[in-house]
Structure 1
Amino acid sequence: MPHNSQRPLPTRSRGDSSPTGHIPESTPDLVRRRSSARRRWHSSGMHPTIVKAQKAQDFLALVPQLLGFAPETSAVLVAFRGNRTCGALRFNLPDDGAPHKVYKRIATTLAGMLCKIPGVDAVVPVIYTGDSFNDAVGIPREQFAEILNRRLEWSGFLLRDSLCVAADAWGSYLDSECPAGGHPLSDIAASPVNMAANEETGTKLVRPLGTLQNGADPIGVNLATQERLARIYRRYRHLLARAENSPPLFSAFGVALDPIAIAEEALTWPNPPTEENAAALLVLVQSPPNRDQIMVQFAFGRDEGVRAHDINGRYARLQHETGRSLDDLVAEEISIGDPTAAHTGDIMLGLQCERPDIDRIRVAITLLRTVVAMAPRSARPAPLCMLAWLSWALGSGSVAGFFVDQALAIDSQYSMAILLELLLDSGHLPEWAFAVPRDDDGDDDGAVEESDGYELDEDLDQDWGEDFDERAAGR
């Protein structure tokens, strides 16, 4: 990430008492609803399915579908505009028995993050814990839940409910008649919305969801494939080194190592890609300028890739002419207010509201996970960092952290991994993750029927049932 190293990372002071003034205890994940106009390429033109959650167990059945994974040891805030969900924030659950001031600080951070999502007027926090109702006095993690609920209400949000899913049961922190042993988890598993959530797939089977960690698990690739790719990769590395990272056409091998062309073609490759294609992409991303350009192009399209490539070419020429480092050149241009340098840095740090193309990112993540599995170990940090940034661009900071950890385990001095670790540790999420899509600006009732999506595999709209409204009104 060389063109960003001089841009300050967004940070939060632990001493700041404002709602967004604390470093989160864990990397947050933001999940946003997605527009039907921007759905995956194979399903454009379909209308979103509206799923009504009439009971708490129905809503709990929908939360993993909204997140795209089954949460574990997590605090999830499901945000609402009117009666429709518009997003969710997931944080690691703080340790049980932590000091009151720690709970208060974390709750303030969560409420502050929720405040960044425009138009949110209500929320349902859900605590996922491995603790047991049988071992708890009351509902598990009740102390933290009470502090969180109070902070959310002080921040102006209607608390529609506050739920707990434990190892052996579930319950509501707002239900004074919740059984001592909680309600059976089978209520959630048997909810009819599990079927409704899968209507678009044309199957009556409930879609299985992995855990958060599964999103970063390696993909299995046989040894023969890895060895073939390694041979081709070494050949390309040798040729590219001789050409000093320029994109010449190697006609003898029938491969044009043009980073702009390959970035676009890669999104159309079959999965898994051929060893030749995977090696071409892998050797290109070993160059930091090519890596960042391809990564940004995956997210924002060819025009942004061309822009980044042209900038990189200009910096390369300046380096050759002046003998100065890339960081020095970028820092100088930023200090004098050069808009081109600032634009690239703003994209990499998520400091702009223009949204990336969610479909392209999803395809790129699938591709890069396979390429990482095929690649020699020493060549993996670059695509792992690309995976981390693309995951972060979708609002999934925790998955991004897993990829960064894998990159640092291979090369503890890999500069982009170090920068990404700083970015993730700051708790910063991209500004585009909080922006309201233009499609939503004209909603009459404030309900979100179409909004851009982060980490959501199905187009679902969750209507909050009347019984929940009555419960909230009766408190």
Structure 2
Amino acid sequence: MGKQEKIRVSAGEDLLAFIPHIVGYWPENSVVCIGMGGKALRATMRLDLPPSGTVDLDGFARVAAVQLASDLQADGCLIALFAGEDWTEPDNFPLRDLHEALQRAFAAEGLPVRDSWYVGSGHWRSVECSNPSCCPWPGRSNSTITGSFVNAEFVFRGSAVEENPRERIPKMTAVTDRAFAGKVEALRPALADGLAGTALAVNQAAVTLGAWERSLAHWPEHPDAGMSAFLAASLGNTSMRDAVMVSLADTPELALAGLFDMGFLESATARPVVPPNWFGGNQAEDYEVFLSGGRQGGVGGLSDPLDLDACGAAATFSDILLGGSAVGGGAAHPRAARPNWERMDRAEELLLFLAGSLQGPAKAPVLCLLGWIQWCRGRGTWAGTYFQASQGCQPGYKLAYLLERLLDTGFVAAWAKDQRTAWPGYRRDEFEEEAA
């Protein structure tokens, strides 16, 4: 299929129709900022409105402006304020102080606000327009947004506006097959106990990453209860969990090399734990056979980290965990240029399946990894909701807590701030808009 023509945005309702399709849902109590490069629309950022009574609106606005200014090709911006009430009185702009703070902050970053809109519960209007023939009070009906040409064009091209992540994620991760989840939970504790003392043994780490690799390579074939229980149990060790994250974004070989380069790997264990029934029920299967791919159906292909060129692997490992944001570079400290987004998209589906097979504290790391994928994509609301859900399953789950704090400070994964490395779901050709 040839590249589709860009949709041209020429009116306020067109631009406002663009927002829910890019964000994925109709924003509520939100500030949406869109970078502009000439007439072209660039990065889109959504933030929760600051709580009523917030004193430091300039600080809030500064965080928004600095993040959008990381796109060096942007030279201006657009702002849409989605609030819970209509703006009914011309002299009583409900978000005046916030709007003025945003104007100052974006101007200071070289991104002057070219236009802005206020979207209430039933009506929208341009903030700057006082012409009653163009913007009658309390504004134009929100139905003009959903009925616009741009919205129709997005729908025609297959885009859909769905529920808010706070409503969707609990449904997406809920247990639907309780019998299967019961089998997983029956197997998981023993596997977790077996991995507790050997998770970072060199052969155990290779087997664990191989299990994840097999499950990813065979997706959309669902792992059985034994494999699902093993994958869930493997996330109990935090270093191994981090290695799984790196493996999902890049390769298991890099994950092993990173563990080795950081000095985390330990001597081989005599009997590595393997997923039940992986080798026809033979728990004593020699891991060397598995690593060499010598048994039909095995994964194979994972190298001994001692044979890998591990120079700089620790820096790349850390860079991936921080969404491409670690300090480094150069031959001695290679940077993770971009993740393998196709792998991460499949990993998301696998993790959603696992989340729907688990309950209680064992579900926390899976939800956290789903949030991390969304954070790497630059989808803060999705990420934050997953991090909160993770902590709901296991209060104080540390990685989810730390990543949520990063979100709260406005820290955005570097991959998401550069169009050359950003998730393709945010820069598909048919969604590259251009203002007329």
Whether these two folds match at TM > 0.5 is yes
- Partner Cα separation in structure 2 for residue 358 and residue 98 of structure 1: 38
Which of the residues 381, 395, 402 maps onto 1:398?
381
Cα deviations by residue, 1:111-146 (Å, 9 ceiling, x for unpaired): 122211121012111111112233785544233223
C-alpha deviation, 1:167, in angstroms: 0.6
C-alpha deviation, 1:348, in angstroms: 1.8
8 Å contact kept, 1:247–1:259: no
Which of the residues 169, 182, 186 maps onto 1:231?
186
C-alpha deviation, 1:362, in angstroms: 2.6
Which of the residues 333, 346, 361 maps onto 2:319?
346
C-alpha deviation, 1:48, in angstroms: 4.9
Match of 1:334 in 2: none
Which of the residues 198, 207, 211 maps onto 2:160?
207
- Partner Cα separation in structure 2 for residue 300 and residue 215 of structure 1: 28
Structure showing greater relative contact order (alpha-carbon pairs closer than 8 Å, 6 or more residues apart):
1
Match of 1:5 in 2: none
Match of 2:293 in 1: none
- Partner Cα separation in structure 2 for residue 400 and residue 192 of structure 1: 31
Counterpart of 2:163, as a letter, is: G
Provide closer, same or farther for how the CA distance between residues 212 and 242 of structure 1 changes in structure 2, counting only shifts above 3 A. closer
Match of 1:356 in 2: 339
Which of the residues 145, 152, 168 maps onto 1:195?
152
- Partner Cα separation in structure 1 for residue 168 and residue 243 of structure 2: 24
Aligned positions of 1:205-354 closer than 5 A = 207-214=160-167, 216-218=169-171, 219-220=173-174, 221-241=176-196, 246=201, 257-263=207-213, 265-266=215-216, 268-270=218-220, 273-311=223-261, 314-317=263-266, 339-349=312-322, 350-351=325-326, 354=337
Which of the residues 57, 60, 67 maps onto 2:23?
67
- Partner Cα separation in structure 2 for residue 305 and residue 353 of structure 1: 12
Cα deviations by residue, 1:171-217 (Å, 9 ceiling, x for unpaired): 1112121222111011001012222113343xxxx723221324532
- Partner Cα separation in structure 1 for residue 214 and residue 372 of structure 2: 18
8 Å contact kept, 2:123–2:142: yes
Q: Which moved more, 1:364-373 or 1:167-176?
A: 364-373
Provide closer, same or farther for how the CA distance between residues 47 and 285 of structure 1 changes in structure 2, counting only shifts above 3 A. farther
Cα deviations by residue, 1:301-346 (Å, 9 ceiling, x for unpaired): 445334335447x4233899xxxxxxxxxxxxxxxxx844333223
Provide closer, same or farther for how the CA distance between residues 452 and 365 of structure 1 changes in structure 2, counting only shifts above 3 A. closer
Provide closer, same or farther for how the CA distance between residues 107 and 424 of structure 1 changes in structure 2, counting only shifts above 3 A. closer
Counterpart of 2:145, as a letter, is: I
- Give the secondary-structure state (helix, strand or coil) at the position aligned to 2:317: helix
- Partner Cα separation in structure 2 for residue 46 and residue 235 of structure 1: 53
- Partner Cα separation in structure 2 for residue 214 and residue 364 of structure 1: 22
Provide closer, same or farther for how the CA distance between residues 247 and 275 of structure 1 changes in structure 2, counting only shifts above 3 A. farther
Counterpart of 1:190, as a letter, is: G
8 Å contact kept, 1:49–1:460: no
What is the RMSD computed on CA atoms of the aligned residues? 3.1
- Give the secondary-structure state (helix, strand or coil) at the position aligned to 2:34: strand
Match of 1:36 in 2: none
Match of 1:182 in 2: 139
- Give the secondary-structure state (helix, strand or coil) at the position aligned to 1:95: coil
Ranges in structure 1 where 5+ consecutive residues have no aligned partner: 1-44, 250-255, 321-337, 439-450, 466-475
C-alpha deviation, 1:424, in angstroms: 2.9
Provide closer, same or farther for how the CA distance between residues 378 and 52 of structure 1 changes in structure 2, counting only shifts above 3 A. same
Which of the residues 393, 398, 411 maps onto 1:415?
398
- Partner Cα separation in structure 1 for residue 420 and residue 169 of structure 2: 28
Q: Would you identify which runs of 4 or more consecutive aligned residues in structure 1 move more than 6 Å?
A: none
What percentage of residue pairs aligned between the two structures are identical?
Answer: 23
Establish whether residue 167 from structure 1 lines up as the match of residue 167 from structure 2: no
Q: Which moved more, 1:413-422 or 1:294-303?
A: 413-422
Aligned positions of 1:80-119 closer than 5 A = 80-99=36-55, 102-119=56-73
8 Å contact kept, 2:201–2:267: no
Match of 2:99 in 1: 145
Which of the residues 417, 429, 432 maps onto 2:412?
429
C-alpha deviation, 1:290, in angstroms: 2.1
Cα deviations by residue, 1:335-377 (Å, 9 ceiling, x for unpaired): xxx8443332233223257222333223222321331221131
